[in-house]
Amino acid sequence: MIKTVKLDIPEETNCILGQTHFIKSVEDLYEALADSAPAMKFGIAFCEASGPCLVRMEGNDDDLIQIAAKNAMNIGAGHSFIVLMKNGYPINVLNRIKMIPEVCRIFCATANPVEVIVTTTEQGNGILGVIDGFSPRKIEGEQEKKERKEFLRKIGYKL
């Protein structure tokens, strides 16, 4: 069976969805986020794939921790993790997360609405992919190119 799970991503919150392979991942993710962006508020949930098969949680914001845990339960895919963050962006932490030895893949890093495509077998759930945001409406023209460049400089990501 294939289904989609819409993630609950609060306003002004970014999300990182990935796959990892070890119970210590939730603590390593916490350390990577806390060390990379000390002012950032975040919640992490990790779906354990063996033993008691719990959703493990960490973070420094109780609301984001609970929402991340709810999203993780709804996805229900072993060894998947979700990070919800405020006052920071995935670009601030993504390389640190990718460098965690047990992280296998990142499905998305976004503030857009996300739908996770999940399949279910007798063994459990697995993530097939994600739908991140919306489909393109047209090809960028000169005005949109100018606006993109101005925006990136305005928020400090380009000189």
Domain boundaries, given as residue ranges, for the chain: 2-154
Residue corresponding to tokens 């819409």: 6
Mean pLDDT value across the chain: 94
Whether residue 10 contacts residue 41, with contact meaning beta carbons closer than 8 Å, is answered with: no
Whether residue 43 contacts residue 67, with contact meaning beta carbons closer than 8 Å, is answered with: yes
pLDDT at residue 155 above 90? no
Q: Which two tokens stand for residue 89?
A: 């962006």
pTM of the predicted protein model: 0.92
pLDDT in tens, 107-138: 999 999 999 999 999 999 999 999 999 999 99
**Per the CATH hierarchy, to which homologous superfamily does domain 2-154 belong?**
Ta1353-like (3.40.1520.10)
Whether residue 82 contacts residue 17, with contact meaning beta carbons closer than 8 Å, is answered with: yes
CA distance 66 to 51: 22
